A = this chain, B = another copy of it.
Amino acid sequence: MIPIYLEIRSYMIKQIEKGRLVPGDKIPSERELVDLFKVSRMTVRHAIDQLVNDGILVRMVGKGTYVSSERLSTALNVLNSFSEDIIASGHSPSAKLISVEKTQTGNTISSLLRIDKSREVIKVERLRLVDGLEMAITTSFFPVSRALPLDELDFTATSIYRQIESLGLRIEKASETVTAEAADKRSAGFLRVKENSPLLKIIRLTFISNNVPIEYMEGLFRPDRYVISQELYRQGVR
């Protein structure tokens, strides 16, 4: 069951995505939205609070609430799903589901996800391909909770991020750690490389609004088919 305020939030985002609201437009007043959704004003405000916090809307006392015109942050470190990355580079991503299970997890992952370790998580293991060639194995852990109706997610589809976002949750940021690891027998089999060959290991913790973690992921990538690129800028003079 998705909370009403997230429904309203989704609705607003869709209006903007579809172009029915463009930057600078005034959105319906809080009291109009109350009538539209048949909810209390506090609930409407809760939804708008989040969108304002995300910089999507701007409130003006006595005037109204408007779609933000400025897209703040020149977006250097852009968080994309792997599918989105692949598409952006002109290739075709796909995924094969290896396993899905509802399970518990150890101290490290549960504390990173900020859940009790007795809580269940959905563990999704997928083989990621680019242009039909094996690229990576990713193992994701999603905390089971009301806000995220995991049953409705299609893990064989490519972009889980997009699916989560279309549910009204806003993915905000991720922190990533990159290292190297030797392929064990199982990974080597899936990725069609020799055992012990070097793989790029990416560990990513993804957050929605309010710094709430929503996914812990470990990925093992074939270095010949996926590399990480980033631009670094020297900090001020001195």
By a beta-carbon cutoff of 8 Å, the part of chain A in contact with chain B is: 13, 16-17, 42, 49, 52-53, 55-56, 58-60, 63, 68, 71, 73, 75-80, 114, 116, 170-182, 196-201, 210-211, 221, 223, 227-238
Contact = CB atoms under 8 A, between A and B. Distances in A.
Contact of A177 (B59, B68, B196, B229): B229
Contact of A52 (B63, B175, B211): B211
A233 B73 contact: yes
Contacts of A75: 233, 235-236
Given A16-B237, A79-B234, A180-B200, 16 more contacts: A16-B238, A52-B211, A53-B53, A55-B236, A68-B211, A75-B235, A76-B77, A78-B232, A80-B235, A173-B234, A175-B231, A176-B231, A182-B197, A182-B198, A196-B196, A230-B230
Contact of A227 (B114, B179, B237): B179
A198 B176 contact: no
Contacts of A79: 232-235
A90 to B, nearest CB: 18
